Amino acid sequence: MAEEKEKKVDTIRIPETDLKRVVVIGGGFAGLNFVKKLKNKNVQVIVIDRNNFHQFQPLLYQVATSGIVPDSIAFPLRKQFKNYNNVFFRMGEVLRVDSKNKTLITDIGNLKYDYLVLATGSDTNFFGMEDVQENSVGMKSLQEALDIRSMLLQRFEEAVVTSDDNLRDALTNFVVVGGGPAGVETVGAIAEFRRYIVPKDYPDLNASVMSIHLIESGNELLSGMSASSSEKALRYLEAMGAKVHLGNRVISYDGTNIKTNTGLSFRTRSVIWTAGVKGSTPEGISEESYAEARRLLVNEYSELIGHDNVYAIGDIALMRTERYPKGHPMVAPSAIQQGKLLAENLINEMNGKPKKKFVYRDKGSLATIGKRKAVADIWGMKFGGRLAWWVWSFVHLISISGFKNKVIVGLNWAWSYYSYDKGSRIIVRLYRSKKEKK
């Protein structure tokens, strides 16, 4: 049996080494910044991801609403690691963690590790509502953003050919569920699409028949930001013609009718779900390691509770502290900081030096609501409008990986700013809901 088990180890072809091996699952903000800090250090690093690219998730909504091309917010991981002599990338799906034998089981083979870093991020949480999951689309990946783009454009194409008024109403009713930054920014972008694009691309379709709804279960938008920013965001969206339904929790959606717990109900063929997330983890993690929303419990050194030499960083990790009893915000800055510090701590541990506890440095929050409108809680100040929009644009532009991508996104924004136009209004593949695919 021991001999058979040994044959299952390292069936993925990896260069042999006497160095300690660190295996990282996930090439998002946390995983990528962790690897960057280990560049050409005295360890072997293996990165495994189901995609061969890093995606800049804060701008997925702009891909979904034809604002920018998908390539401009994706950066190939192999290109990122081309000068990293100690880093090797493998594209695959992680199936299970065998922490007892320090082995990772994937769909491309098995891999032995000395240290394992889980940076798997999060998935859309539909809270057990199967009908909603089957008929709506989330926005956690580039693939989903492209699905949304196709869905929106298909609905317009269907609306201009139908003679059924009730069907046209359902086709031109667009619903976004979730009043966080992703939901607010998506609604603002769709509202601009209605104002600037629909009259030009679909002159025989009255843009006034198009309705945009934002459903939020709480009593305010952008709950992670200040009350003044929440109020400004609400005013901006309503001024753009969006209908905001606060205090409404979606309870069902069958692909045509959406209903909430307050009795609100209307017809729609397009629902975008940004209302919640849950941890995305492989099998093999002990139940004692899980917290709410399937996130993984870690201590202040990002060590996974209940496992040796296993760590979790980014959205998947829940680190309870006195200041953040429910865990740190699931945002890019938190993931980046966790990734960097964990890399430093691993090197310190290997060299017999003391480790540092993680302390989150909150740099503030930003959210945009269309052209020249945004809200900001940064530098101890709370402001909105055009200045906040310029700050939001600058911060996001410098955060995108790759100089070429920065240039492309900047040019797209400049073109849209002055021309009131959007690009990439093409349907490269037809959108079908999960229910339709069955």
pLDDT tens figures, 235-282: 999 999 999 999 999 999 999 999 999 999 999 999 999 998 999 999
Once rounded to an integer, what is the mean pLDDT over residues 72-84? 93
Once rounded to an integer, what is the mean pLDDT over residues 407-423? 78
* Cα distance between residue 126 and residue 144, in whole Å: 15
Three-state SS string across 38-79, please? CCCCCCEEEEEECCCEEECHHHHHHHHCCCCCHHHHEEEHHH
pLDDT at 139: 95
The architecture of the domain spanning 130-275+371-432 is 3-Layer(bba) Sandwich (3.50)
Give the DSSP H/E element, type plus range, for residue 104: strand 103-106
Once rounded to an integer, what is the mean pLDDT over residues 34-47? 97
pLDDT at 160: 95
Nearest CA among 83, 268, 307 for reference residue 176: 268
Q: What is the DSSP secondary structure assignment for residue 304, as one 8-state letter?
A: B
Per-residue tokens: 374 = 């945004």
The structural domains of the chain, with segments of one domain joined by +, span 2-50+92-124+278-350, 130-275+371-432
* Cα distance between residue 285 and residue 99, in whole Å: 8
* Cα distance between residue 306 and residue 297, in whole Å: 9
Which phi and psi (to 5°) does residue 38 adopt? Answer: -100, 10
User: 3-state SS of the chain: helix, strand, coil percent to 5?
Assistant: 35, 25, 40
Domains 2-50+92-124+278-350 and 130-275+371-432 share a fold: yes
8 A C-beta contact, residue 300 and residue 319: yes
pLDDT at 420: 67
* Cα distance between residue 145 and residue 65, in whole Å: 8
pLDDT at 2: 37
- pLDDT, tens digit (0-9, with 9 covering 90-100), for 358-375: 999 998 999 999 888 999
CATH topology of domain 2-50+92-124+278-350: FAD/NAD(P)-binding domain (3.50.50)
- pLDDT, tens digit (0-9, with 9 covering 90-100), for 290-305: 999 999 999 999 999 9
Residues 6+ apart with CB under 8 A from 302: 311, 312, 313, 317, 319, 338, 341, 342, 345, 358
